[in-house]
């Protein structure tokens, strides 16, 4: 009787651990610098992306994120929009 529960426990653990090892099938494309030119781009997740070999640090920079906004409102907060149209490195 105890052997039956032991085998059942081992089988359940085997199934659970095999499920927990799931991962992204392609970790090499972790970012996308969006471009409008479809001829010199790679198509990833519905966007045309710059070739990863041509990406520079300037593609991930957006001036103005360090400037404090006006927080004298009812919530006492401010939101600075940074979308894929303003920062091309978003995907």
Close Cβ partners of 37 (under 8 Å, ≥ 6 residues apart) = 48
For the chain, the farthest-separated pair of C-alpha atoms sits apart, in whole angstroms, at 70
Residue 14: its H or E element: helix 2-19
Distance CA 88, CA 91 (A): 8
pTM given for the model: 0.47
pLDDT digits (tens, 9 = 90+) for 29-83: 677 787 777 776 677 767 788 888 888 888 887 787 888 888 899 999 988 877 7
Using the predicted structure, report yes or no on whether residue 1 has a pLDDT greater than 80: no
pLDDT digits (tens, 9 = 90+) for 11-23: 888 887 766 556 6
Q: How many helices (H) and strands (E) does the chain have?
A: 1, 2
Residue 24 confidence (pLDDT) = 60
- Mode of pairing for the β-strands spanning 47-50 and 41-44: antiparallel
Using the predicted structure, report yes or no on whether residue 8 has a pLDDT greater than 80: yes
Residue 86 confidence (pLDDT) = 65
Residue 22 confidence (pLDDT) = 60
Res. 9 pLDDT band, cuts 50 70 90:
very high
């Amino acid at each position: 009787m105890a052997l039956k529960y032991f085998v059942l426990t081992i089988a359940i653990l085997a199934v659970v651990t095999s499920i927990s090892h799931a991962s992204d099938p392609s970790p090499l494309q972790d970012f996308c610098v969006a471009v409008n030119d479809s001829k010199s781009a790679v198509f990833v997740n519905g966007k045309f992306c710059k070739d990863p070999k041509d990406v520079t640090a300037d593609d991930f920079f957006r001036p103005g994120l360090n400037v404090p906004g006006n927080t004298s409102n009812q919530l006492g907060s401010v939101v600075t929009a940074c979308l894929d149209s303003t920062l091309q490195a978003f995907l």
